[in-house]
Structure 1
Amino acid sequence: MAPVTPTLPASTAMFHYYLLQASGGEDATGAGLLVEEFVLDDDLSAVRLRSACWTSADAGWWSSAAFVRAARTDPRLRSRLTAVNRPGAEAAYGRLGGGALPDEDTLRRHFSDDVPLAAGTPLRLGAGPAVHRVLFAGEPDGDAIARLSALLRLGAAPGADVTQPGVVGTGRLRVNDTNHLWHLRRVGGVAWSIDVTSDPAGGDGLRWVLRQITDVARCHGLVPATIERLS
């Protein structure tokens, strides 16, 4: 990829929006909106998942750690979620009778039942650079993975290279003066991850890269569960 100079977000949080369907399936009618925020530590690992849900039937916002945990473990619930961006969330909220979607500072007031995410000593993988692993739940079909691979501009998988188990492909991008490398990986047959490394470490584009990669994956059937820093 050609070098890019991003407009870097000032916040150390990631806001995600999902349309909540009344039932699974392509023709399901939208019933509500799920808003999530990953709160990141200084090293860009996720320390908390905050959320609130609004449904047209309830006509109000509610917060449930059990609900967002279930969205990562229950395929039936996950099938009811459709990732959208902020304009898509605004349109859905208005269409369902909610009016104008509150800004993110206001939405945060509805986050009352957080999910703490593990934050401890980073797992040491060797002498190489730190790895930021975005871990995802979800079972997208082959077409969705192919589209995701194309958007991530992944090169060929490493084949029989046992040092890279489960890797589907590898992409790279230069942001400002930092080279970023990522692997899309199948993890344990039950999850997916995108592992990102930066050279030199600590470049100011890493947060932007993590956010862009996460948003692309969300739009292809993967639901982010956490961001870990492995070193």
Structure 2
Amino acid sequence: MTKESPGTLDYYLLHADADHNRPTGLLVEEFVLADDLSAARLRSAGWTPADGGWWSSAAFARAVRTDARLRDRLAAVDRSAAAALHERLGGGPLPDEAALRHRFREDVPLGSGAPLRLKPGPVVHRVLFAGNPDERRLDRLGAVLRMNTRSDRGEPGVRGTGRLRVNDTNVRWQLRRVGGDVAWCIDVTAEPADPHSLRWMLRQLVDVARRHGLVPATVDRLA
């Protein structure tokens, strides 16, 4: 994983079908995190010139997480690719991120509260994802996440474990199946607890997972 900071917002190309032959617009999203780094709300806006420009819909943001057919029409991209499509489809220069936030008019509230303590140990930040990538994508994701899969074969649902030292903080993450094998998550711990390093690491992990077919749904705190 690169140590360069990705953009603040998440960008997706919208396509007419799952084959991604004809892009029709953009989806721009942002997860607003609480002080404890759990997700407080999801902000979202779409741009489709056929529909008259920018629009914001909480129902659409929810549908992206629950409707596989709609999700298959999305492709995660960086800001430069989103800007190129915006211009190509006649929208001109893509507004900067401060201006894009003014397009977020209908947020999705996300639950947050004190972590459920199941056992002693550090708090776990669980990033829950929608999507079901194929084995090839999962293998590529595991490689980019620098995961060791051999040591986790006996732990149910765990695909692999990665580690990185960030600013004197030891960060550990696990990619695992959850919810009766219907969803994926990345569980992240940081010792000693450092919110700045953890926030940076969560952003990095989400950005990598997005590029491999997973769509972030929320960030919870567990223990």
TM class by smaller structure: over 0.9
Question: Residues 8 and 220 from structure 1, CA distance in 2 versus in 1: closer, same or farther, beyond 3 angstroms?
Answer: closer
| Amino acid aligned to 1:156 | T
Distance in 1 between residues matched to 2:96 and 2:88, nearest whole Å: 17
* TM-score between both structures, scaled by the size of structure 1: 0.91
The residue matched to 2:93 in structure 1 has which SS? coil
Alignment of 1:197-216 (within 5 A): 197-216=189-208
- Given candidates 43, 47, 52, the residue that maps to 2:40 is 47
The residue matched to 1:102 in structure 2 has which SS? coil
Alignment of 1:65-214 (within 5 A): 65-157=58-150, 158-161=152-155, 165-187=156-178, 188-214=180-206
- Deviation, 1:203, is 4.9
> CA RMSD of the aligned region, Å?
1.8
Distance in 2 between residues matched to 1:73 and 1:133, nearest whole Å: 19
| Amino acid aligned to 2:211 | C
Q: Is the 8 A contact 2:13 2:74 kept in 1?
A: yes
Distance in 1 between residues matched to 2:147 and 2:213, nearest whole Å: 18
Residue deviations 1:142-185 (CA, integer Å, cap 9, x gap): 00000000000110252224xxx200000000011011000000
| Stretches of structure 1 lacking an aligned partner (at least 5 in a row) | none
- Deviation, 1:216, is 0.4
| Stretches of structure 2 lacking an aligned partner (at least 5 in a row) | none
* TM-score between both structures, scaled by the size of structure 2: 0.94
Question: Residues 17 and 7 from structure 1, CA distance in 2 versus in 1: closer, same or farther, beyond 3 angstroms?
Answer: closer
Residue deviations 1:55-110 (CA, integer Å, cap 9, x gap): 02123111101101010011100000000011111111111111110111111111
Identity %: 63
Q: Is the 8 A contact 2:114 2:221 kept in 1?
A: no
The residue matched to 1:110 in structure 2 has which SS? coil
Q: Is the 8 A contact 2:5 2:204 kept in 1?
A: no
- Deviation, 1:8, is 6.9
Q: Is the 8 A contact 1:14 1:38 kept in 2?
A: no
Task: Report the number of matched residues.
Answer: 221
